[in-house]
Amino acid sequence: MRVRVRFSAPLLAAIAAALVASPQTARADFIRLVTSLSGPNESPPNTSPGTGFAEVDLDTLNQTMRVQVTFSGLTTGTTASHIHAATASPGTGTAMVATTVPTFPNFPSGVTSGMYDQTFDMTLDSSYNPAFEAAHGGTAASAEAALFAALETDRAYLNIHTQMFPGGEVRGFLVPAVPEPASLTLLGLGALGLLGYRWRRRQQAV
């Protein structure tokens, strides 16, 4: 005897929503932050034609921070790049350098365009500006907690300094990356399709 089981639309939608949500919650210890870099985002703002994009991935389980930066169109050669934290208010203001000084290790120097990719061990004192660490408890652990808290509350920014703009030519406040609605929709449709396929196979086997 073949038993037909029908899934209601609300049930399928709920199952799909759960599947869509699961990749987002599977790693609560992983936080991705992104920002666009520009002159108008600097403080004070400037008219630099330079642009860029930065992604910072925090792994709170393994205590690492991966920094990826791409940039182009700067007025003059680069001199430094850092993450600054923590501003008094989210998305505005200035703050001290939090990461390695005088610049990120191996950041491209003397160029107007380039790429950067480095993973930092946040348990090491060398991953921080000594002044930032001293101002936040005096240990790598306390500095890590302060920096991660600033990053998670939109009170940290990444900028690139150049010869023409020694205080910073382009910058952007780091904010949590949000999946595009289209990507979520496609993932949901894929989940529904997979459910339907498995259900049909199961019915054929009965």
Instruction: Give yes or no for a contact between 174 and 157, defined as CB atoms under 8 angstroms apart.
Output: yes
- Spatial separation of the C-alpha atoms in residues 81 and 70, rounded to whole Å: 12
Cβ-based neighbours of 117, under 8 Å, separated by 6 or more: 66, 67, 68, 69
Q: Determine the topology of domain 28-199 in CATH.
A: Immunoglobulin-like (2.60.40)
- The token pair that represents 62 in the structure block: 């393994």
Q: How far is CA 179 from the centre of its chain?
A: 12
- Residues 180-203 as b/e (b if ≥16 CB within 10 A, e otherwise) read eeeeeeebbeebbeebeeeeeeee
Beta bridge partners of 30: 59
So where are the chain's domains? 28-199
pTM for the predicted model, two decimal places: 0.76
Res 153: pLDDT: 96
- In the block, tokens 């979520």 appear at 184
Per-residue tokens: 48: 């630099």
- Secondary structure of 5-18 in HEC code, one letter for each residue: CCCCHHHHHHHHHH
pLDDT at 178: 79
pLDDT of res. 5:
44
Continuous segment of H or E residues that includes residue 199 = helix 181-205
Residue showing tokens 């792994």: 59
Residue stretches of the chain with pLDDT short of 50: 2-5, 7, 11-13, 15-16, 18-25, 182-187, 189-191, 194-195, 197
